[in-house]
Amino acid sequence: MRLSFFLREALRSMRRNAVPSFAAMATVLVTMLMLGLFIPVVQATTGAANSVRKRVLVDVYLKTSAKPADVARVQTLLHKTPHVGKLEYVSRDAAYAQQRKAHPDLYKLLGANPLPDTFRVTPDNPDNALALQRALAPPAAAGGVVPIDESIAVVKNRKTDTQKILTVTNMVKVTTAVLALVLISASVLLIANTIRLSMFARKREVEVMKLVGATDWFIRWPFVIEGTILGALGALGAVVLLGLGKVLVLDRFFHGITSVSAPHTVPFAALIAIVLAGGVAVSALGSGISLRRFLRV
Amino acid sequence: MRLSFFLREALRSMRRNAVPSFAAMATVLVTMLMLGLFIPVVQATTGAANSVRKRVLVDVYLKTSAKPADVARVQTLLHKTPHVGKLEYVSRDAAYAQQRKAHPDLYKLLGANPLPDTFRVTPDNPDNALALQRALAPPAAAGGVVPIDESIAVVKNRKTDTQKILTVTNMVKVTTAVLALVLISASVLLIANTIRLSMFARKREVEVMKLVGATDWFIRWPFVIEGTILGALGALGAVVLLGLGKVLVLDRFFHGITSVSAPHTVPFAALIAIVLAGGVAVSALGSGISLRRFLRV
Amino acid sequence: MPPSSAKAVIEFRGVSKRYGVGAVGLDQATFAVDRGEFVFLVGATGSGKSTLMRLLIKELEPDAGMIRVAGHDLAEIVRNRVPYYRRNLGVVFQDFKLLPNRTVHDNVAYALQVTGRTRREIRDKVPDILRLTGLSTKLHNFPDELSGGEQQRVSIARAFVNHPPLLLADEPTGNLDPETSIGIMQLLYRINRTGTTVLVATHDQTMVDKMRRRVIELREGRVVRDEATGLYTRDESTREFALRLRNDAPQAPEHL
Amino acid sequence: MPPSSAKAVIEFRGVSKRYGVGAVGLDQATFAVDRGEFVFLVGATGSGKSTLMRLLIKELEPDAGMIRVAGHDLAEIVRNRVPYYRRNLGVVFQDFKLLPNRTVHDNVAYALQVTGRTRREIRDKVPDILRLTGLSTKLHNFPDELSGGEQQRVSIARAFVNHPPLLLADEPTGNLDPETSIGIMQLLYRINRTGTTVLVATHDQTMVDKMRRRVIELREGRVVRDEATGLYTRDESTREFALRLRNDAPQAPEHL
Ligand SMILES: Nc1ncnc2c1ncn2[C@@H]1O[C@H](COP(=O)(O)OP(=O)(O)OP(=O)(O)O)[C@@H](O)[C@H]1O
Ligand SMILES: Nc1ncnc2c1ncn2[C@@H]1O[C@H](COP(=O)(O)OP(=O)(O)OP(=O)(O)O)[C@@H](O)[C@H]1O
Ligand SMILES: [Mg+2]
Ligand SMILES: [Mg+2]
């Protein structure tokens, strides 16, 4: 009987307080919609940044004069070097074949194979790429760098702008993290704020209830249930809009692309679950807590 | 007398309605803070996407056998081709010198200059890069492509993944535009919502004022002024937090980087102006409009 | 129907007001009040007294019939002229309707401020009327810091402060003790003597009996009685008036 | 000080309550009310009647002195026991304090719901008490759709519905016409006859005179009079009681 009473109370209250109820719902909807839009964006951005970072390689070019024994020695050496993650050996013949396949026209112009044997070293962590390069070719006292093995011709980053990639991706990651944090706290704040306000509009009502002999929890339960329902409705609205957006916009115009460029996005089902749970939890808690002030009669 | 009266009324009302006033201010602060954080991020992202797109080039490699007369002819031809924006001629000697400077070690390994004369064509619009390539080397009936001039060896995009760059940057731009729109409308909605709620809490008061003979505008002005003040205070708070964030985080940790990677960011002063004006305008308007409902007594 | 008399301040002609199903506010009410009259409106609870008042201040619209105040048909007052019309009325509301965020002083001052009076005028008039209603010590209290009777007196002070040509008072003494009630009635009488038309809804039978003024009685929205109770003495001084009110039992005609 | 009598339901001992500067709520009030008594609380507006009531329901805390109800010191009731204490009281508030979002029926039912009564009990009791207070036709109206007197009767019904051992009524007839007032007083009397202690604050001098019950008079927060007015007849039937109230003038002792 108790639960059904509280439920009926919550429904009555929503019906009779259309304005604040609607306002609370709209706030949940809007903030959850924002969250639902930003979470995949943030994830995709971070994913993209990470996959760019994964491409940071250190290429160790051997001298064209290197013999197989030299190659083996260098390989052993590299295996012992700290920060070396994956190690891939590309023989000069393999490199030539690969390049010729990629740029047939261009390589037609070349005569003999100009490419050396190469080790492609993936650092254990992209941030260590520069340290690794320095370890393999430490700066010489005379200036310039001297590779640690005489068979090594050059140690290079795949792209000359590794440094730039690293800082930019780092920045992107920090920025998105900050934005996500700001957005989440903003959502919580905004929802709590709205609920506080709609409680405030019913301050008098709560006072009267107390004077008539209602206990704190007797007053609180309907409000918490109301908050839960409103939060669920708002979150549901957000989910429906997100779903519509996905079907109408994402799947239609970016068909096939999203899966390519944003493989790290959370699945849609999980996103929905997050949005729903977030909306409901924040609203329910907010209602329960905001009420405390007005219960002190 | 009138203005000072309205001003005093607004101040009194803020003092006596601390909860809703504070709530309205907090909402403005939070939303404006979000806007203030996202505007530069959106701008930087769009800027970065644009600068990536600018790098989309079509390279026209001439045959090594091309004579200066051939080069001149191709140049004239290119000038007449639609979608050609900027045209840059790089002679094979210049290309060799440039490459050798960039990769001295690698080019030491090469013997003779393997590079051909090249035209670097910037399309008038990055989106036309593929069309341009097709125009310069239309597909032949027999399969494959045949360049429009016999001296042209190959027509290539600088990067093989032009298509990918284009779609990704397009997506980034659309996404940020959508996010910006969502965020701005969400801010307006949330602020309007909060104001509506705090008006609702004073519905009775407005009704009494009307019964005592106050005109609509006599009631409305103090509310609008109050909205303006609260909006200004909230926006000011957001600006102070943004400024703190800039000084403490951005300038300290990303020193020098932001200016490099995000050259298109709005200047901080303009951002402040936008945030302030936005907060004030939305709050003032919101107050004036929300009141309309309750004035119909 | 008799033609409307030119000097009628309030004129109701067949006014009906129904709230939803069943609830009758007013039912074919017809009467007229002349300028300078003092009229009591009596009737059981729910008989339509407040409805009549709310129709007069155009808070409600009648379903049928015509209401004229000072010759103007209320139905013809457009929405944005309503505030100007209301400024000619002083209204004591049954539930006081004080502004919760204003002090006693500011509540009363508000009625002057809406009409654009200067601060000087406010400084002159407000303390005066508050003294008359015995609220001088409560100047800076907010309504929720007042006793019921004090709130009622603030409502009365606000209605009086403008010296309106028409005064409507809905149960102005419901929360007042007999002595204070007599004070308020004395005030009403004094205001009436300056030419103001006064309409008072009340349940205080003793007061009505003693005042011997015109009485309109409502029953379920209908006017069932409309008579000047016996000895209608306009030229009595305020002091004589008060003396008579304090006389306990309703007695036979006295020093007339 | 005399020792507190064991059968006192309400006991005030030197209770003082001051609001901020100057405003005196109660000043050294000392009195006791026995079980089953019917007591009138009178006094000018602002004399502290509502303050006394609010202290009794622990809405306010006294600055000094001790209040005991049914033998319990109110100061010793901890915060989360207050609701349970309040359920033993029926309170008619001067400003009604109805829940604006509930119908008449639900407002009265709420007082039963807080104590966890079943729906069956509510279905039994609420319509009964609403019939007694003459609100049967207004069951599904919201408070803002009621006349002042009807709202007051809802407040009375809510206070009665629980059959509380102690009933506090602050101006229960301020907005009621004489006939309805007698009805309400009759109801109070009937409830009192079942053993309930009743404390009524009122300005209705006529009623107090006719009821001939104990009267406590406050003036500026002090108890200045505490007496049983003459002929205290506990065994009068409700009908005789009503008859006597309707008799117009306060007369000499009648059929005793
Ligand atoms: N807003 C409303 N909706 C529905 N019914 C209403 C509304 N306002 C008033 N009524 C009903 O109209 C009738 C007349 O109400 P009104 O307030 O005019 O009575 P009254 O004479 O002022 O009574 P009281 O002396 O108790 O103040 C009552 O039966 C009341 O219930
Ligand atoms: N919250 C408050 N703050 C300051 N003063 C108050 C407050 N509540 C009451 N008072 C003052 O305390 C005094 C007693 O008030 P109380 O409400 O007890 O009077 P009362 O006897 O009920 O009067 P009435 O018959 O008018 O209802 C009054 O002078 C009032 O102004
Ligand atoms: Mg009324
Ligand atoms: Mg009182």
- pLDDT tens for each residue of D173-195: 988 998 889 988 988 988 898 88
pLDDT surpassing 70 at residue D157: yes
On average, the pLDDT of chain C sits at 88
* Range among A111-125, A261-275, C8-22 rated most confident: C8-22
Ligand 2 atom with the shortest distance to the CA of D53: 18
Neighbours of ion ligand 4 (CB under 5 A): C 147-148; D 50, 94
pLDDT surpassing 80 at residue D14: yes
pLDDT in tens, A168-195: 777 777 777 877 788 888 888 888 888 8
Q: Is the dihedral of CA B259, B263, B265, B266 positive or negative?
A: positive
Residue that wins the pLDDT comparison between D155 and B293? D155
Ligand 2 atom with the shortest distance to the CA of D49: 21
pLDDT in tens, B138-181: 887 776 777 888 788 777 776 555 666 777 777 777 777 877 78
Domain boundaries, chain B: 2-52+164-294, 56-157
Among B39, B190, B241, B290, the strongest candidate for a mutation testing the A interface, having the largest count of A CBs within 10 A, is B190
pLDDT surpassing 90 at residue C165: yes
Residues of C in contact with D206 (CB under 8 A): 206
pLDDT interval class at A250 (50, 70, 90): low
pLDDT at A258: 46
Helices (H), A201-213: 203-211
Q: Is C149 on the interface with D (CB under 8 A)?
A: yes
| Residue A160: strand, helix, or coil | coil
**Residue whose structure tokens are 């004070």:** C183
CB A228 within 8 A of CB A278: no
Residues of chain B short of pLDDT 50, as ranges, are 256-264
Cα angle D224, D228, D229 (rounded to 5 degrees) comes to: 95
Ligand 2 atom with the shortest distance to the CA of C177: 25
| Residue C13: strand, helix, or coil | strand
Neighbours of ion ligand 3 (CB under 5 A): C 50, 94; D 147-148
- Percentage of residues in chain C with pLDDT exceeding 90? 66
pLDDT interval class at A253 (50, 70, 90): low
Q: Does ligand 2 come within 6 angstroms of the Cβ of C143?
A: no
> What ligand has the least distance to the C-alpha of C217?
1
pLDDT in tens, D222-243: 999 998 755 555 567 777 777 7
Task: Output the CATH code of domain D37-63+83-247.
Answer: 3.40.50.300
pLDDT at A152: 82
Q: Does ligand 2 come within 6 angstroms of the Cβ of D19?
A: yes
The dihedral formed by the CA atoms of B217, B222, B223 and B229, expressed in degrees to the nearest 10: 140
Nearest alpha-carbon partner for D114 in D146, D91, D139: D91
pLDDT interval class at D253 (50, 70, 90): very low
Query: How far apart (Å, rounded) are the C-alpha atoms in residues C91 and C109?
Result: 15
Q: Is the dihedral of CA D243, D245, D251, D256 positive or negative?
A: positive
Helices (H), chain B: 2-16, 18-54, 68-80, 92-102, 104-108, 129-136, 162-200, 203-211, 216-245, 251-253, 257-261, 268-295
Amino acid at site A51: S
Determine how β-strand C38-42 pairs with β-strand C214-219.
parallel
Q: Is A12 on the interface with D (CB under 8 A)?
A: yes
> What ligand has the least distance to the C-alpha of D44?
2
pLDDT surpassing 60 at residue A227: yes
* Close Cβ partners of A248 (under 8 Å, ≥ 6 residues apart): none
pLDDT at D107: 96
From B179's Cα to the closest Cα of chain A, the distance in A is 8
pLDDT in tens, D16-68: 999 987 789 999 999 999 999 999 999 999 999 999 999 999 999 999 999 99
Q: Does ligand 2 come within 6 angstroms of the Cβ of D36?
A: no
- Mean pLDDT, to the nearest integer, of A271-290? 86
Residue that wins the pLDDT comparison between A52 and C113? C113
CATH topology of domain B56-157: Alpha-Beta Plaits (3.30.70)
pLDDT surpassing 80 at residue D6: no
Residue that wins the pLDDT comparison between A162 and B243? B243
Q: Are the beta carbons of D23 and C145 separated by less than 8 Å?
A: yes
Cα angle B31, B32, B36 (rounded to 5 degrees) comes to: 120
pLDDT interval class at D98 (50, 70, 90): very high
Ligand 1 atom with the shortest distance to the CA of D152: 26
Nearest to D101 among A17, A212, A216 (CB): A17
pLDDT at A162: 66
On average, the pLDDT of chain A sits at 80
Residues of A in contact with B109 (CB under 8 A): 64, 114, 116, 153
Euclidean distance between the first and the last CA atom of chain B, given in angstroms as a whole number: 27
pLDDT interval class at A91 (50, 70, 90): confident
pLDDT at A106: 60
What is the value of ipTM here, to two decimals? 0.85
The full DSSP string for C49-67 is HHHHHHHHTTSS--SEEEE
CB D167 within 8 A of CB D198: yes
**Residue whose structure tokens are 């941030």:** A127
Nearest alpha-carbon partner for D29 in D223, D231, D237: D223
Q: In what order do the strands lie in the sheet containing C214-219?
A: C89-92, C166-170, C197-201, C38-42, C214-219, C222-228
pLDDT at A103: 62
pLDDT at D29: 94
Q: Are the beta carbons of D44 and C145 separated by less than 8 Å?
A: no
Query: How far apart (Å, rounded) are the C-alpha atoms in residues C74 and C61?
Result: 9
Domain boundaries, chain D: 37-63+83-247
Q: How long, in residues, is chain D?
A: 256
Amino acid at site C147: S
pLDDT at C256: 37
Residue that wins the pLDDT comparison between C239 and D215? D215
From C226's Cα to the closest Cα of chain D, the distance in A is 18
Q: Does ligand 2 come within 6 angstroms of the Cβ of D202?
A: no
- How many CB atoms within 10 Å of residue C9? 19
Q: Which helix (H) or strand (E) holds D110?
A: helix D104-113
Q: Are the beta carbons of D174 and C177 separated by less than 8 Å?
A: no
* Close Cβ partners of B177 (under 8 Å, ≥ 6 residues apart): B42, B46
pLDDT interval class at A257 (50, 70, 90): very low
Q: Which of residues 183-212 of A touch D (CB under 8 A)?
A: 204-205, 208-212
